Amino acid sequence: MPTAHNSAAKGDFAKTVLMPGDPKRARYIATHFLENARLVNDVRGIQGYTGSYKGTPVSVMASGMGMPSMAIYSYELYHFYDVENIIRIGSAGAISERVNLRDLVVGMGASTTSRFAHQYDLGGDYSAICSYPLLESCMRTAARLSLTEKTFAGNILSSDAFYGETPEMIQKWSAMGVLAIEMEAAALYMNAAAAGKHALCICTVSDQLLNDEHLSGEEREQGFTDMMRLALETAVDLEK
């Protein structure tokens, strides 16, 4: 059913949805990777497409930036469109010396500076973790695609502030083994848990914050091919 943020009809989305933050990246994936892709949503410029990849139905729709935006779109996909799996694909800033530009980071868990979990009134600190079946499928697929050496699975940090990181803060999270910082995964993981659905975050390292290294805007939009292939092949693997 259409919502205030989504004009798609029931059945317009596939069981698995890839969610980049950037609408242009969603369009790029639909244009370059999906067969027979059709636009199913364009409310507020948040483009959503459904097509197929190697015969498997797959959708791709932007989430926008930050946890509030991801929370809205992922909630509606899970609850109103019968989506089972959401794979966030986006960029992240590495805070581990082991991780370099263009490497892939898979979020097993998503620590956060957000108070998003307080809505559940749990009386404690909730651990936002990915869905194990999606993680297992992703890592199996990474091995098949010969991406294991550049794919790192571990804890990530979902931050509410893009410009809020200080060197001291980065060093503290890094010392706890956190691999990278992004802005959406924790809300996605919590929405999935509350809905009884599945979620995973796969990010390409666009910035190495410890070494002050950065990719260009064009590289961020179109240069993350390995991440896109890994997510799409994981969607296929889930159907086996």
- Check: CB of residue 183 under 8 Å from CB of residue 207: no
Is 68 within 8 Å of 112 (Cβ atoms)? no
Computed over its alpha carbons, how large is the radius of gyration of the chain?
Answer: 17
CA–CA gap between residue 81 and residue 45 (Å, rounded): 19
Map tokens 């990719």 to a residue.
215
What residues contact residue 148 under an 8 Å CB cut-off, 6+ apart?
139, 142
What CA–CA distances, in Å, run from 80 to 37, 77, 121? 21, 6, 24
Q: Is 125 a catalytic residue?
A: no
Two structure tokens written together for 24: 């242009």
Q: Which of 12, 103, 207, 226 is catalytic?
A: 207
Instruction: Identify the CA nearest to 59 among candidates 38, 80, 75.
Output: 38
Are 113 and 161 a contacting pair, CB within 8 Å?
A: yes
Residue with tokens 């993981």: 189
- Report, as residue numbers or ranges, the catalytic residues: 207
